[in-house]
Structures are given as structure tokens and as C-alpha cells.
Structure 1
């Protein structure tokens, strides 16, 4: 009987441990995807517009309630977080407005960050930082930190 009790305890322990890593099947996202936590790494202003489009498409694919997105900006990518940042004109002559895109994504739950090292190094005035952006000590360190906490890494 003692042997059976030990086996039952071990089996129960394994079941509890396994459940900590199980995905809740009652919470599937849209299109068959499971819930996700994602960090988008943006370190180049020339890829920032595409990165924000990727974030929007990612949200659309899973549904806002099924995804947690953090956009980490540093180096020239941080300039997307500066108020008044504008992209190049498109074929129709319309200028891409980063502020509008960031505000729209923030309203959908996306979190934006900007690296303090970049702010100092590029001499970005603090009063020009987009209101939706949180200042973090280091962009690169923050990306690694988020990966350590289960965020999937995307580099557009």
C-alpha cells in the first residue's frame, strides 16, 4: 500500500507540474492560433513602418484579447516614438504618420517602449517622446528580459 501511495503522489505531482505549462484549450485565439505574448524589436527607423503594420496584422489574426504585444525601440528605431515623426510619402502623396499608428495600436493594448540610452545618445528631447511610450533603461536588455519571461521574439 505504501508503494501505491508513493506512486500516486508522484503521479499527482507530475500532473500538477505539467498543468503549469499546459495551454488553456478553452481560450483559443482566432484562426486556430493559441494565445501569444510577443516582443517586436525595432531598431531601425526604415523598418518601423513595416513593423507597425506587422503588429496590426498580428492583432487582426489573433484578436486583441488573445495577444500581448510589447514594441521595444532603440537606436534609430526609437525615432518612431518621437512626437511628430513622419514617414516618407506613399505613391498617393500621403505621408505616413507614426503618431496616429501608435495611438491606434496602443488603444488595442499594444505597449510601446523607448530606450533611455538612445534618448541620451541621440539627444532626443524628453518632452517630444510619444505619450504612449514608456522609457526603459536599455532596449537590448529589455528584449532579453522579455524573452526570459516567455515572450516570443519578432524582428521585422
Structure 2
């Protein structure tokens, strides 16, 4: 029993000395894509649990240990539409982006629904727009990204 205590203490000291966080010591690097295509309900409240899942995922794995993308198409663009008038949602999205999360928007949905990303969506840049949301999901999965549908 004493030997296990010594090993655990030594491992703890090594982790502290090398700057490896608990998350990095627990999880291997991950590549993950979250798929959002559903409606968020009134004021986008239904999107907040998905964003909370993403935040929890980052907390568990570590931002430096995670390549995370959010692909939105169809009704999922409502997330960035709701954020236009919701400062709390803006803060959550901005915080996730600061952690390296990429929010990818379907060009087919923009065109089909006549949505202007510059005026109708929160914080979308040309590099955030992909030709097709579903094709992007397929591409990312072929590249080894795990698929999560919150």
C-alpha cells in the first residue's frame, strides 16, 4: 500500500513539474466535430446545453489537447442568429473560440435561406463558411474526427 502512495505522489510531482494538466494526463489528443442542425427554441435557449457540452469537453480534455469543430447547417444557424441579440450567448461563443473551437457555417443554408453572414449571424468570417455542412461532416469524419450530436 505504501508503494502505491509513493508512486502516486511521484506521478503527481512529475505532472506538476512538467506542466501537464490532469486533463492532458487523462486523455489522449482528440479531434471532435459537434453537429448542430436543430432549432434552438425561444431565444436560442436550446443551443446553450450544446455549448455547455462543448465547454465541459474542453475542460475535461484540455484546449491544447483538442481540435474541436462545430458544424452548423439548416436550423442550426439559429445559434449564430440568436447570438446577434444575446450578449450571454455572444460571450459563450467568444470564449469557446478563444479556446480554439471553430464554428463552421454551411454555405448552402446561407444561400437557400437568404442569410447574410455579415449582418444576420454573430462573428462569422469568410473562412468559417464551408460549401456544405453535411459534406464537411463527412470530410471531418474521414479525417478521423469523432462525431457528436448533442
TM-score where L is the length of structure 1: 0.70
Corresponding residue for 1:17? none
Q: Which runs of 5+ in 1 are unaligned?
A: 1-25, 87-95
* 107, 114, 121: which one aligns with 1:116: 107
Does residue 140 (structure 1) correspond to residue 131 (structure 2)? The answer is no
Aligned partners of 1:111 and 1:131: how far apart in 2?
A: 11
Larger Rg: 1
TM-score where L is the length of structure 2: 0.72
Deviation at 1:97, TM superposition (A): 3.2
Where 2:84 maps in the other structure, the secondary structure is coil
Aligned partners of 1:145 and 1:28: how far apart in 2?
A: 31
Where 1:84 maps in the other structure, the secondary structure is helix
* 30, 33, 36: which one aligns with 2:27: 33
Structure that is richer in helix per residue: 2
- The higher relative CO (CA closer than 8 Å, separation ≥ 6) is in 2
Number of residue-to-residue matches in the alignment: 122
Kept after mapping to 1: 8 A contact 2:118/2:124: no
